[in-house]
Structure 1
């Protein structure tokens, strides 16, 4: 059986220097990646090797030293420097150089009361966690994930984001024990951030600005803090969701979602690594942050950031940093991106990253739009009946036909909008700025209407006017009424209320980026899904809830939505597992989270998308994460740093690790021991290798194979029964995927589409489940 070989991309993606560029003597920033450190050099000795490397292409040692921007001296071996294209080309020819990457402004998207309870982790059960930890643990508590993990108190976790608002109650260190001796980091001071802002909760903080300022010049202090302090709000929100203390009576936007807000690992120690630049980031800054985090002693890193498109591993600083984190057994969890529902948009896709998609909870914030004909559409308060108009009927004459209903800036005619409620369609432009445009034109409220593609995908979020968001079906009802009223439509917006269990959940968010994985086609991404819609957490008081300059409000808590919010949920679970199983590898922790995930909602039905259609593994990966199950997965699919280097050999990168030589015939990429299976362009039959390690409480265990193949396929395992005699024992098996009728199946799969199934190993207690995605060649 022949499987088409994925053409190695790494070598073709290394820097190409056209003749004209070589003649260009302008200085630019390049990252010179040298792989990893294996010898026990001191950081100072490593710095000197980087100076020496630069001196080989510079006119003097002084010029070489002056050109250095960052020296990556801990786990990552490399440096960032100002070079001409000709100098960069010379360095790229050196045998020890893995890659030379030109830095440029790259767009990166910064991709809670109810979410943890909905996920089965009852953080609100006892508010004073620090006090409860002093009490004798009962037998019932002994089996509880949080108590077994000590609420994360032994863990040091890192957040790479926009910084932190240290005064937030979520970061109080009251009752916490001394800082762990394993901590090696610092508390970097700067603008409105001093050493007192670090404590026994926020044990360290750094910020990274050299790449930004090399390109743009000195940072304007009014745009962002030149320190770890958060001006945006995103970093504070994700840090609080990850490891925030429990705070009673937290709410936002006038009392919504009131309850106990908490991070998933509320007693974990938090290290903050701030990248500066908003949605424009520099690889050299983020790589420096990850190199420091690994050296500082961080055990789990949460990164709710992703490029605006999938990147090859050699051009992706997060991928490079995460590979070195895996070498040190540090778990790296990343958001999958917010470019759904378009297929093939998921980012942060290497197999050494745990990638997270976003789902909705069962909590809704439902109000009522009362139309003039008496009809109600259930979903800021405007109790008075007011004129209602569609944005398309109020657009200025020069607005393009395909934008008239979008409420884009300067698109509405004030004489048509003044004093009215305006219906604005989602699509182009941000949701926040639609409200700003309605307000500019004199409107007093607006209805944010969904398209067919967005279905039930609605958010609770701050706006500058009384606003309600409606589903696609509700949008159609409103549009029908406006047309029938012939210019006399009216409506009023009633006060919304918080409702639990209002519909089957979880269901996948429309914005959550989807597979297939266009960079690593044999790795199914995302890995899992977690709550990412309407998440309440702490906020920067320097950032208004809308992040708009027109908004003068300051809040302590705010709602936010995105895979950015889903990511720290899974990172927190990884931290709890790390506390319970300190010897597990990062791959084992990822496997435990994936193979115990659920594909069912709280009604016992298959998880759907926002339109009610059955969701697929390209949306939720292995399923919705289940904290209560992940601590005891039974079996895990383990992998090592060497396994990842062998994978990169097959991919086309030949010298990723120092003193590591690729074998002449490296194992195929599909044989990487991953907990899910993705097969692009199957041409008949494929047999892949996997192994599982027994981590169950009972050393003597027997696991039986079962499968639900993709349509038109058979899936078999050999052997189909696995016998274990001890904990830690590893068993290998092969999985064979075969088209039952090649011609017929190819016709059914026409156009390269994927079909999905699963296989599992079961004993009397555990179900170790893996999704399968297959397309035909």
Structure 2
């Protein structure tokens, strides 16, 4: 076979630090080769094998070729020695060599809370919804769940090209139309995470579901009539880059309409080393929107992941429903804690023992107060309620015979499931509990079963939800949007533990995380697509962002600003009728990357194509036609002027006039001028451009300054946040 030229392919290598190998001298690499060749005689697999044979000098490459990408983009995974890797790195067309990464999972009344009511209360387009396919890249799925029953479903859409390869004892149907596994464990979900996210996005409506009576009601996804295809890329140890790329490769070729992926690293990665960014770029080019979780490392700044502008990045927030677990002391005082506790000690008090009072001789009082492993004497704890200054006591409670655990919360706004009666108290209530124990001869208490509360202040951004600023594309505001991600009840795998050391088996469970928020947005995006099947990913993203509700965030400084919630909280009904949208396509994103001064080699890694930026390129990344506007300035810029260029497309009334207004946000006051300040449209799909000039002075390095630009024709409200911030380093 003739050797392809550098213009027709490229190689990108990822070093895997987690893959098992049969020879300690060999390590696993991903060879990513960009876009597929258009040559009719080109066979990807043959090319992959010939490269391996040339590099290794072996006629047989059995055990060398791990995986081959040949549907939506080109490449393969292989086991190579260091010298072989060096040979490949020197081959014509090789762009870069970088480590593979092990990524992690970012882990009912929510749809009512967002306004998507059940039944006839919400406008639906059932025929198109039934033709909509959501690809779920996660831990697999539980095919027997009622949430994925195909009762009432017709045959899969004709566009579907996928398969059901779930392995033994796994069957797809007309609801769950496809399944693929990249872990060698089968597509069945043994973690519960993939089942939970899939049912949140598009699960059937299932009545009378709960977690042992907690959160009882109807569980359903945002688009219950839509189809689901599951791509298992994660196991209990994490999610490898090669598996993630395979999931994207197949999902794009299979014909999915949207991809939801609640996976990410511990920090934002450069686009050229991020398998999600690379896969999502190819998806975007094919008209497929990828929705990604923002991460669970909040409330610290600069923790958000999934920061590419062609990703819709989702933060997590609360709904109007919450779970509380009361602790009733022997003196009658009730302390309101947090947990999802299905056990009930009501009617009987048990002795309380603080970890410090149960210390073994090998531990000091402080370690015992934390209830650290091997720190407590069983004889001092057995038959009592163990009190700990952090959750460590949950790990050892059974081994020391504790009846229940009460601990000081690290995440006071989230309720978690535990394998025994437990409640977490905020610091003030925990100190009251300790004071009661230390001042009472025989302190006692009872931990009650969890109660459901409604009408709390919501939405509020969860403390765990990762915050910006964006550390890679510093002028792109991330996260983009927030959605319910706290205490979400959805389908679960009976093969998974509801909590650590938990032997109970459940079909529905409560989870919290940006992983839970992500499929909510995927469901909303699919809902919009059922009415506008031809809308591009950027149009759907814009509709969701510009119609969002304002929200509140926990914390201070950056943690409580747009860097926590982006454009705001999703409003599905308003997103159906945005009036105007910000559109951007492949060419716009390439110009954006050129504006980041990416070389042609790096552009090949991301786009899969040979692209050369103009030497006179003066495109600023902040001028990408994005629904939000953000700029990072030097703190020394006491007086500044920043401009943003944008274009709006009319998707509302044919003849309409939009007037601009600016509403002040937080931080120092910004001067905002919009030119022109009025946009008049005569036809649908007509485009009008404008410029936003922002002036100000004395930026606070700890708190960004913001405003909101609102375009309105009296019916539609199109809101874009404007955020100016200083380099705090």
Flag whether TM exceeds 0.5 (same fold): yes
* Runs of 4+ deviating beyond 6 Å: 13-16, 610-614
8 Å CA contact 2:660–2:709 kept in 1: the answer is: no
Q: Is 1:382 matched up with 2:345? A: yes
Aligned mates of 1:614, 1:229 — CA distance in 2: 38
Q: Please list, as runs of the form range in 1=range in 2, the aligned pairs for 1:46-65 lying within 5 A after superposition.
A: 46-60=44-58, 62-63=60-61
Tell me which residue corresponds to 1:577.
Answer: 528
- Aligned to 2:55, what secondary structure does the other structure show? coil
Q: CA RMSD in A?
A: 2.6
Can you list the C-alpha shifts for 1:642-687, whole angstroms capped at 9, x where unaligned? 2222222233142424243222233121111111122112532221
Structure 2 portions without partners, runs of 5+: 1-11, 16-22, 338-342
8 Å CA contact 1:596–1:768 kept in 2: the answer is: yes
- CA 1:401 to 1:510, structure 2 compared with 1: closer, same or farther past 3 Å? farther
Aligned mates of 1:34, 1:231 — CA distance in 2: 33
Can you list the C-alpha shifts for 1:458-505, whole angstroms capped at 9, x where unaligned? 30x4322111233344333323333433x533222233322221x211
Aligned mates of 1:631, 1:172 — CA distance in 2: 28
**Which one of 465, 468, 475 corresponds to residue 515 of structure 1?**
468
Tell me which residue corresponds to 1:756.
Answer: 706
How far off its partner does 1:60 sit? 4.5
How far off its partner does 1:326 sit? 0.5
Aligned mates of 2:312, 2:558 — CA distance in 1: 26
Q: Is 1:499 matched up with 2:473? A: no
- Aligned to 1:179, what secondary structure does the other structure show? coil
Tell me which residue corresponds to 2:175.
Answer: 201
**Which one of 156, 176, 179 corresponds to residue 133 of structure 2?**
156
Q: Is 1:563 matched up with 2:519? A: no
Can you list the C-alpha shifts for 1:225-245, whole angstroms capped at 9, x where unaligned? x21111111111111111111
**Which one of 179, 183, 188 corresponds to residue 156 of structure 2?**
179
- CA 1:468 to 1:685, structure 2 compared with 1: closer, same or farther past 3 Å? same
377-386 or 84-93: bigger deviation = 84-93
How far off its partner does 1:117 sit? 0.7
440-449 or 167-176: bigger deviation = 440-449
Q: Is 1:357 matched up with 2:315? A: yes
Can you list the C-alpha shifts for 1:113-145, whole angstroms capped at 9, x where unaligned? 21111111112x46xxxxxxxxxxxxxx7xx44
In the alignment of these two chains, the number of paired residues is 691
Aligned mates of 1:595, 1:568 — CA distance in 2: 19
Aligned mates of 1:279, 1:759 — CA distance in 2: 44
- Aligned to 1:57, what secondary structure does the other structure show? helix
Tell me which residue corresponds to 1:260.
Answer: 218
Aligned mates of 1:766, 1:97 — CA distance in 2: 50
Tell me which residue corresponds to 2:252.
Answer: 294
Q: Is 1:690 matched up with 2:609? A: no
- CA 1:409 to 1:40, structure 2 compared with 1: closer, same or farther past 3 Å? farther
Q: Please list, as runs of the form range in 1=range in 2, the aligned pairs for 1:297-308 lying within 5 A after superposition.
A: 297-308=255-266
93-102 or 228-237: bigger deviation = 93-102
- Aligned to 1:333, what secondary structure does the other structure show? strand
Tell me which residue corresponds to 2:104.
Answer: 108
Q: Is 1:437 matched up with 2:411? A: no
Aligned mates of 2:96, 2:219 — CA distance in 1: 44
Q: Is 1:330 matched up with 2:292? A: no
Tell me which residue corresponds to 1:168.
Answer: 145
8 Å CA contact 1:339–1:513 kept in 2: the answer is: yes
How far off its partner does 1:351 sit? 0.8
**Which one of 38, 58, 65 corresponds to residue 68 of structure 1?**
65
Aligned mates of 1:250, 1:643 — CA distance in 2: 46
Tell me which residue corresponds to 1:83.
Answer: 80
TM-score with structure 1 length normalisation? 0.84
Q: Is 1:597 matched up with 2:560? A: no
Aligned mates of 1:94, 1:703 — CA distance in 2: 57
Aligned mates of 1:545, 1:364 — CA distance in 2: 18
Aligned mates of 2:651, 2:306 — CA distance in 1: 28
Q: Is 1:484 matched up with 2:439? A: yes
- Aligned to 1:623, what secondary structure does the other structure show? coil
Structure 1 portions without partners, runs of 5+: 1-12, 17-23, 127-140, 210-218, 220-225, 601-606
How far off its partner does 1:151 sit? 7.9
Can you list the C-alpha shifts for 1:266-314, whole angstroms capped at 9, x where unaligned? 1111101001432322111110111000000011111111112221111
How far off its partner does 1:563 sit? 0.7
How far off its partner does 1:598 sit? 0.8
8 Å CA contact 1:687–1:737 kept in 2: the answer is: yes
